[in-house]
Amino acid sequence: MNFENTLNKYKQKLIYHDLNRHIKPIRNSYQYFIVIPVLNELEYLFKTLNSINNQNSELLKKTLIVIVINNRVDSSIHIKKNNRLTYEKIKKCNFEFEYITLDYFSNGNELSVKKYGVGVARKIGMDYCLQFATGNSLLFSLDADTLISKSYLQLITKYYHSSNFNTCIVKFLHQKSSNPKIEKAIRLYEDILYDIAYKIKQCNSPYGYVSMGSTIICKVKAYIAVGGMPQKSAAEDFYFMQSLAKFSKINFLNKNLVYPSPRLETRVHLGTGFRMLQYNKNDKFIDLSFTDRCYDSLKKLIDFVDSHYKISYNLFIKELNKNFDYNICNFLSEHNFENIWDKINNNAGSKKQFLIFFHQWFDGLKIMKFLKYMNK
């Protein structure tokens, strides 16, 4: 199926069919798109936009910035006012780049109480970009409180042209906090996230990466292939990355190009802001620490599966139980692995395909459940 047919098929599933009501950009197509969801961000957004303004001028000519100002129909008066002031201020700014502001905040255009949140806002912005993209155009996911390096566009596009990645994540470093306790917490949090990702990768899992919305870049082809951005109010980046990892390899650009905010956040019960709030209250992070035994069990399981292609489930589980922690078998049993094992063995035409099927089942979410289970 060619790109146009795939795109048209995807468009039939759009959650918002009013994207044509927005102002059109100057050109018919762009190579790069930076999508920024905005909710109550008057204090932060313009620093982010200024950091975009400092990018390579030639690359900016090929880039469209899509700003999705959004709130729910029942959002507070304060949030609605903040969004309106943000919109008015943007109109008065002169930038080196071309931008489009999508209005999902004003009266009659707000998000519903059923479909709202950062995942929906990202999806709206990225879906809007599709009408001006090719299959090889890149979608950059950014946050309204995140700064980018001056070489952000230059290094990412250079890496893209040399590697032809479908998905890439870049290294991040949170901005310095003026609050000593939060500064300590954010550095600890970064270390924990990178440590978890590294250890999962060392276990030969394709899910050994940090999921953070402001670090993700993907081809339009890949975006469409996985069904677009998940419509979630939180953890949309985790589920989006998980889908992309099931589609193809996740590339990693090991340079600090993104600088998220370390601010405390109460809007969602996941993510950096929530974790900072948690640490500020409890002096620790909850459910983020796993023993070496947990990772050892994870690696043993993955390696054991790798060496038991086309083996019956009864023999597989018998040998697993004999050689390793019985909790591994208990976890698999609780997750109906017998049916999964038979299915992937029957459907796989090769060992390579067998392992792909296994990792599509034993995905990032199941790995976190497994680590927590083994951590009991």
| Nearest in space to 365 (alpha carbons), one of 241, 231, 234 | 241
Give pLDDT tens digits for 218-273: 999 999 999 999 988 778 899 999 999 999 999 999 999 999 988 766 555 566 77
Give pLDDT tens digits for 121-162: 999 999 999 999 999 999 999 999 999 999 999 999 999 999
170 in the same domain as 81: yes
301 in the same domain as 271: no
Q: Would you say 168 and 217 are in contact if contact means Cβ atoms under 8 Å apart?
A: yes
219 in the same domain as 122: yes
Q: Would you say 341 and 314 are in contact if contact means Cβ atoms under 8 Å apart?
A: no
Q: Would you say 271 and 234 are in contact if contact means Cβ atoms under 8 Å apart?
A: yes
* Average pLDDT value for the chain: 92
For residue 91, name the pLDDT band (cuts at 50, 70, 90).
very high
Pairwise CA distance, residues 319 & 29, whole Å? 57
Give pLDDT tens digits for 170-227: 999 999 999 888 888 889 889 999 999 999 999 999 999 999 999 999 999 999 999 9
pLDDT score recorded for residue 3: 80
267 in the same domain as 135: yes
166 in the same domain as 61: yes
What does 96-163 look like in DSSP terms, one character per residue? SSEEEEEEESSTTTPBPSSS-SHHHHHHHHHHHHGGG--TT-EEEE--TT-EE-TTHHHHHHHHHHHH
Q: What pTM does this model have?
A: 0.94
Residue 233 inside a domain? The answer is: yes
Residue 339 inside a domain? The answer is: yes
Residue 287 inside a domain? The answer is: no
Please tell me the total count of domains within the chain.
2
341 in the same domain as 201: no
296 in the same domain as 182: no
Q: CA 126, 128, 131, 137: dihedral to nearest 10 degrees?
A: -20
Residue 110 inside a domain? The answer is: yes
Residue 272 inside a domain? The answer is: yes
179 in the same domain as 95: yes
Domain ranges, residue 343: 292-374
180 in the same domain as 301: no
pLDDT score recorded for residue 266: 52
234 in the same domain as 266: yes
Please say which residue of 263, 282, 301 terminates a domain.
Answer: 282
Pairwise CA distance, residues 162 & 141, whole Å? 21
Looking up residue 66, the CATH number of its domain turns out to be 3.90.550.10
Residue 317 inside a domain? The answer is: yes
Pairwise CA distance, residues 131 & 29, whole Å? 8
pLDDT score recorded for residue 232: 80
pLDDT at 108 over 70: yes
Q: CA 186, 188, 192, 198: dihedral to nearest 10 degrees?
A: 100
Residue whose entry in the numeric block shows the structure tokens 């790995």 = 367
Residue 315 inside a domain? The answer is: yes
Please say which residue of 259, 282, 305 terminates a domain.
Answer: 282
Residue 274 inside a domain? The answer is: yes
103 in the same domain as 240: yes
329 in the same domain as 241: no
Please say which residue of 246, 264, 282 terminates a domain.
Answer: 282
pLDDT score recorded for residue 80: 97
- Measured at the alpha carbon of residue 14, what is the angle toward residues 28 and 213, in degrees to the nearest 5? 80
Pairwise CA distance, residues 65 & 52, whole Å? 9
Q: Would you say 51 and 147 are in contact if contact means Cβ atoms under 8 Å apart?
A: yes
CA distances from 326 to 141, 201, 305, 308, 312 (A): 42, 23, 16, 18, 19
